[in-house]
A = this chain, B = another copy of it.
Amino acid sequence: MLKPLADRVIIELVEQEEKTASGIVLPDSAKEKPQEGKVVAVGSGRVLDSGEKITPEVAEGDKIVFSKFAGTEVKYEGNEYLILRESDILAVIG
């Protein structure tokens, strides 16, 4: 398995079909568009200047909305993932 470092989070993209099911539809506009994904792994968190480590607010299994142009693609054991920083995640779909 891939274990993300620091404040990184690994997600699977949610396909266009699921996207309709969960209710996220992207409006057709010139603004920055978010994308939907599912969290598959979460790093241990970023370290503050005070030395404190901040546990990410998202957890494995969470469905999230994130900035469309964020992250790095990776294919692992035949599946495609995206490695994001937690700060690229806009909201959890609860």
Q: Which A positions have Cβ atoms within 8 angstroms of B?
A: 1-6, 8, 10, 23-27, 29, 31-34, 41, 44, 47-52, 54, 57-58, 65, 67, 71-78, 80, 83, 86-87, 89-94
Nearest-Cβ distance from residue A71 to partner chain B, whole angstroms = 8
A-B contact pairs, 26 of them (CB 8 A): A1-B93, A1-B94, A3-B92, A3-B93, A4-B91, A23-B77, A23-B78, A24-B76, A25-B75, A25-B76, A25-B78, A26-B74, A27-B75, A29-B73, A32-B72, A33-B72, A34-B83, A47-B48, A48-B48, A48-B49, A49-B49, A49-B50, A65-B83, A67-B72, A74-B90, A76-B93
The number of times this chain is found in the oligomer is: 7
User: Do B31 and A72 have beta carbons less than 8 Å apart?
Assistant: yes
Instruction: Check B44 against A91 for contact (C-beta < 8 Å).
Output: no
